[in-house]
Structure formats: structure tokens, C-alpha cells
Amino acid sequence: MENSFAENLQSIIEDYEDTRANYRVLTKRGEIVKDTLLEFQSRFIDLKASLRVYRSHFNKEWIRRDDKAATAIKFRIAVAMTRGEYETGDKEDKLPTITNAEKLASGSKEYREFVEQRGHYKECITNISDIREDINSYINEIKDRLK
């Protein structure tokens, strides 16, 4: 499902890029028909509406990876290290203290992956918000041209 979700989003972004390029070609030609402007305005509005679902999805995923969740994962890894249930990479036979285990947990593969996912989802939210803001600008520009 996640793969088709990403493909659908990519399709919307490509439609946005095509619509934007076509609109720029139209505006450079000079003669602009009201019906054509209304068609472009409608396309931009539809694209903006389509992106709402994706922004909501990525926002939920980012919230699932908030500071509290990051701390919880790091602490679970640290506790597993103190119990000997998680490989610390330390050659010594003794188990680390909870303080040392927390430091080691920050460098664990699982924790790094979690932080990377969190960054990815935040970047997705930012990019989608930027595109929606750009679409708003096009909608407003068309509105001004229609006056």
C-alpha cells in the first residue's frame, strides 16, 4: 500500500509540474482567454485538494515519531542492553549501566533508523506544504488576471 501511496503522490506532483509549466507557457504568449484561465484555476484547486490527504498522512507519521517516542525507543534499547538482550558491541563481559546504555542506544541502528524516518516525514510535510503554498500563489495570480 505504501508503494502505491508514494506512486500516487508522485503522479500528483508530476501533474502539478506539468500544469505549472503549461500555465507559464500560456502567460508568456500574452493572449489569455478567460475560459482557459478558469480551467487552469480549476486544475490548481484540484491539485491542492489532492495533496491534503498526503499532508495529513505524513503529519500523522511524523507525530508518531515525536520526541516522546524517540525517548521511549532509546530507553527500551538501553534497558535491553543492561539485561544483555541487545548486542552493545563491547568486548567486555560485563553489562553496561543504564546511563552508559542510554549513550550506546543513541548510536544503535534501530534508533538511527527511527530518527531518519522522523526526518523523512518532516521533510515530506514541508515539501507538500510548500507545493500547496505555491499552488495558492497560482490560484491568486489567476484570480487577479480574471479581474
CA distances from 103 to 28, 74, 76, 108 (A): 58, 9, 12, 9
* All structural domains of the chain with their residue ranges: 2-146
| pLDDT for position 64 | 93
Integer Cα distance of 81 and 86 in angstroms: 5
Q: In sequence order, what DSSP letters do the residues of the chain get, joined into one string? A: -HHHHHHHHHHHHHHHHHHHHHHHHHHHH----HHHHHHHHHHHHHHHHHHHHHHHHHHHHHHTTSHHHHHHHHHHHHHHHHTT-S-----SSSPPPHHHHHHHHHTSHHHHHHHHHHHHHHHHHHHHHHHHHHHHHHHHHHHHHH-
State how far the Cα of 106 lies from the Cα of 89, in Å rounded to an integer: 13
In this predicted structure, what is the pLDDT of residue 59? 93
Given this model, what pLDDT does residue 134 score? 97
Answer yes or no: pTM beyond 0.85.
no
Overall residue count recorded for the chain in this entry: 147
For the chain (147 residues), the mean pLDDT of every run of 10, in chain order, is 80 96 91 91 97 93 93 94 81 80 91 94 94 97 92
